[in-house]
Amino acid sequence: MADADDLLTKPGEIAGWPKLKITYRTDPDKITDLLPPGIEPGANPHVHIGIYCVPVLGEPEYGVSTKVEADYDGMPGLYSMGMGIDQEAAIFISRELNGQPKFPCRVRFFRLGDHVEATCTHQGYTFLEVRGTTAGPGVVTPGDVEENEWWIKCSRAVAGVEKSYDFPPHVVRVRSVSEPVAVEDLDADVLFRDSPWDPYTSLLPMREQLSVQLLRAAHKSRDITLEGPLDPVAFWPYADTIGGSRWPGERGGPRRT
């Protein structure tokens, strides 16, 4: 008789592959337009998207993060455009405490055998779809990897006083150290769909798909620190965003065309 474990399809094995990582090239000027003064474009006009399922607050959190390569104070890193997650409890407190650009998003992500699939839906728009199959092991470079991620913490003045803040904009540095354990390349199609709430197609268009991978890593440390201030007047045009993201918005919603 077959062992009971052999009869399981185990679609939840994404817990062992917590991140689906997409990297693509966009136009350099598109990244420049999104970065507030004080944050500079990085070495490459690359966009990094991670779709994941990790345990948070005692339950699985499905999420999608979007980052662009950017430098602050001479340090290379990644500027976070947004983190769509399916746990309301973690959205607002994360933004209040650390300036983490979270917003509600429905993420569907699974691996079944060699097939991997993910979709991300926000405000009724499915703005990102990934479907593909595994294509064999990728290259793992041994050793620790340090990454800096930049968030923005600020609070505009009560009653919306023009160019005034209760807490002016500051950069939040997220320094993390991890060690890659395994990488699996995917033969996958990545499709962005038009959405006013997640405007990838207009503000970060894909010019070249560079890689799609499943990544497993051992996370060793993560430190969140308040760094220096940004020019509050120069930052003002960047203060109004779509929801909790850093996409440029108008009164919390998409900008009117």
pLDDT of residue 239: 97
- pLDDT tens sequence across 102-142: 999 999 999 998 999 999 999 999 999 999 999 988 888 88
Distance CA 63, CA 56 (A): 11
Q: Report the percent of the chain where pLDDT is more than 90.
A: 77
Q: Which pLDDT band holds residue 4 (cuts at 50, 70, 90)?
A: very low
pLDDT of residue 59: 81
Q: Which pLDDT band holds residue 76 (cuts at 50, 70, 90)?
A: very high
Residue with tokens 């980052």: 67
pTM: 0.91
Assess whether pLDDT exceeds 90 at residue 203.
yes
pLDDT of residue 15: 52
Distance CA 203, CA 188 (A): 23
Distance CA 242, CA 227 (A): 24
pLDDT of residue 17: 57
pLDDT of residue 16: 54
- 77 in Cβ contact with 32 (< 8 Å): no
- Mean pLDDT, range 41-65, rounded to an integer: 92
Look at 239 and 11; give whichever has higher pLDDT.
239
pLDDT of residue 45: 98
- Paired with 239 in beta bridges are none
Strand (E) or helix (H) holding 238:
helix 232-239
* CATH T-level topology, domain 10-141+180-219: Acetoacetate decarboxylase-like (2.40.400)
Distance CA 230, CA 171 (A): 7
Distance CA 80, CA 101 (A): 7
Structure token digits, residue 160: 């919306």
Distance CA 51, CA 61 (A): 11
Assess whether pLDDT exceeds 60 at residue 13.
no
Residue 39 Cα distances to 31, 33, 188, 257, angstroms: 11, 11, 32, 26
Name the residue ranges covered by the structural domains of the chain: 10-141+180-219
- Mean pLDDT, range 63-84, rounded to an integer: 98
- 246 in Cβ contact with 203 (< 8 Å): no
